[in-house]
Homo-oligomer: A and B are copies of this chain.
C-alpha cells in the first residue's frame, strides 16, 4: 500500500490529481523524473527524447514549471547553477558529493525527529520554523552506487 509505484496508472493519476491534463509529454517527463536522480532539465530533455523524440525543450520547461507549481515535484537547490528536480516529496535529506556533483536521497526519520526536538527545546527567537533539511556533504565510496 505504501508502494512507490512508477506504473503508468500511478503516473497518470499523479498528473490528473494535480489538476493537469494527461498528455504523453507529461507522462514521459514524469517517468524520467522518477527514474533519474535529481535530474536537470537538460538531462530530462535528452532522456525523454529517447522515447519521445519530437518533444520540444520549451515543452519540458513548461511541464516542469507546471509540476512544481502543482506540487507534483520539487526543486533542489544545491551546487552548480542549473536547476535540478526531485520527484520524491517525502521528507528527506540529501547526500551530496561535490566532486562528482552526485546527489542521493537520504531518509532518516530518527535524525529528523531529533533535530525537531532540539528546536522545540531551543527555539530560535524571531523565526518560526517550518522545515528542516540537512545537507550532508562528503564523498561516496564507490560501491553501493545506483
Contacts and interface: CB of A to CB of B under 8 A. Distances in A.
Given A134-B133, A135-B133, A124 B106 contact: yes
Interface string A97-133: 0000000101010110011001000101111111111
A141 interface: yes
Contact of A144 (B77, B118, B125, B135): B125
Nearest to A106: B124
Copies of this chain, complex-wide, total: 2
22 contacts: A77-B78, A77-B79, A81-B83, A95-B127, A108-B122, A110-B122, A111-B115, A111-B122, A114-B114, A114-B118, A115-B115, A124-B136, A126-B141, A129-B138, A130-B139, A131-B136, A131-B137, A131-B138, A132-B134, A133-B134, A133-B135, A135-B135
